Amino acid sequence: MNELASYSIQAIVFAAFAVFVISRSKKTDPYQFSLILVWLVGVIVIYARYGEGQVLFYSNDQEIHQRIVINYIDFFGISLGDTINFRYIITLPVYLISKLGFNEILLFKYLQLFALIGIYSESKKILISNAVNLRLWHALFIASPVMIFFSTLALRDVILAYLVLFVVFRKRVDHQAIAAGVIFLLKPHLAIALLVGFLTAHFVSQLRIKLAVLTGAVNAAVLYFVGAMAYPIGSIIRDNFNPGQSGLIFSQPRILQVVLNFTGLQFLSQLDDDGAIVASSVGQLIAARLLLIDTFIIPFIFAFLFIFSLRRLKLESIFTASSFTFFLGLVTQTDFNSTRQNLPFYALMGILCVVNLSRPATNPNPELKATRVG
């Protein structure tokens, strides 16, 4: 049996098991099955096109995950001090299951698939709790095209996107704490950004500060500045390395980078002398953004609603906007920011967009009280 056939059979078995799991729930709907089918086709197509070289498709983080599972854990053993660097929270389960003969990269992708299904299910609960009936157009905002694409890669970002929903929308402190802890182990600076957003939202709430364009702009500038200043501090704490501070935090290039990051066009600020970035041309990358249109529709609509027409979930919206602004201030001080880093915020913004764009159902779902989560 050739490698593609073996990989494809494993993917089909995994997809079948996912179908079995979600079929046990009475709340299953056709979109969940569609997510699984698209994921299955996607992972097989990627492997058919790139083979073992798929670990370098889009991001070399996939290769890092593969090395951790295949080499690092056996060579270095398991050490508490390496929990964050080796991302044990996802690599250890994959390491153990891969010993049964399963492809380790496919296992990482499978974790992403279940996170994608979880995003859809959790988002659906949040909409129901806000008297919003699910509509077809919501697919552009919830478990959207960019989420589906990243679920076919052996990364951690869809998992992070799922976890942030618990931090922002769940009301049980234990759920929030566990989710925040896992996020910290996978991406510490995202956890810190969420903490900043949480503190800002509750500060605004306690002081009853009125949302306005001016106060919002000042708040954004302050959070961006704090995020930018946090980057060298974090580098010193984590890597014992001081990258310094350029002193140009509010310079035109930095602000342009923030705008490009916000719109999913970060690569335009990272072109080298030959005008190349990653392994694709600018034209190909822009075409990809047109296919993954949610990468700029979601943040643009969220920003418009937040400034001009925010009606519901105001505390959660302030939480999201504050966290994202701080996060942008931090990541735009590096040359390694990409669309996938914004994925957790797309998950949050997507729900907030749908709730604020939709009219409350005149005949709300009878499960409203039982599924209240936000």
Q: Domain boundaries in the chain?
A: 3-371
Q: Which residues contact 71 (CB under 8 A, 6 or more apart)?
A: none
Please give the helix or strand (H or E) that residue 233 lies within, else none.
Answer: helix 213-239
Q: 96-125 b/e with 16+ CB inside 10 Å = b?
A: eebeeebbbbbbbbbbbbbbbbbbbbbbbb
In the structure encoding, which two tokens stand for residue 54, read together?
């798929």
Those residues of the chain that have pLDDT short of 70 are: 1, 209-215, 232, 234-248, 250-254, 264-285, 288, 335-337, 361-374
What type of residue sits at position 123? Answer: S
What type of residue sits at position 53? Answer: G
Are 230 and 190 in contact by the 8 Å Cβ rule? The answer is: no
The helix/strand count (H/E) of the chain reads as 16, 0
Compute the distance between CA of residue 128 and CA of residue 366 in angstroms, rounded to an integer: 9
In the structure encoding, which two tokens stand for residue 33, read together?
């099955």
Query: Of 329, 312, 318, which is closest to residue 209 (Cα–Cα)?
Result: 318
Tally of residues, the chain = 374
Compute the distance between CA of residue 111 and CA of residue 155 in angstroms, rounded to an integer: 9
Compute the distance between CA of residue 201 and CA of residue 326 in angstroms, rounded to an integer: 13
CA distance to 97, 152, 242, 326, per residue, from 31 (Å)? 28, 17, 47, 34
Are 121 and 27 in contact by the 8 Å Cβ rule? The answer is: yes
102: left (phi over 0), alpha (psi -120 to 50) or beta: beta
Are 94 and 66 in contact by the 8 Å Cβ rule? The answer is: no
Over the stretch 131-158, which tens digit does the pLDDT of each residue have? 998 899 999 999 999 999 999 999 999 9
Q: What are phi and psi of 70, to 5 degrees?
A: -80, -40
CA distance to 109, 154, 360, per residue, from 9 (Å)? 15, 18, 44
Compute the distance between CA of residue 75 and CA of residue 2 in angstroms, rounded to an integer: 29
Compute the distance between CA of residue 317 and CA of residue 349 in angstroms, rounded to an integer: 8
Residue 44 pLDDT: 97
Task: Find the Cα–Cα–Cα–Cα dihedral 177, 183, 185, 190, rounded to 10°.
Answer: -120
Are 123 and 351 in contact by the 8 Å Cβ rule? The answer is: yes
Residue 181 pLDDT: 96
Residue 179 pLDDT: 97
Q: Which residues contact 269 (CB under 8 A, 6 or more apart)?
A: 253, 256, 257, 260, 261
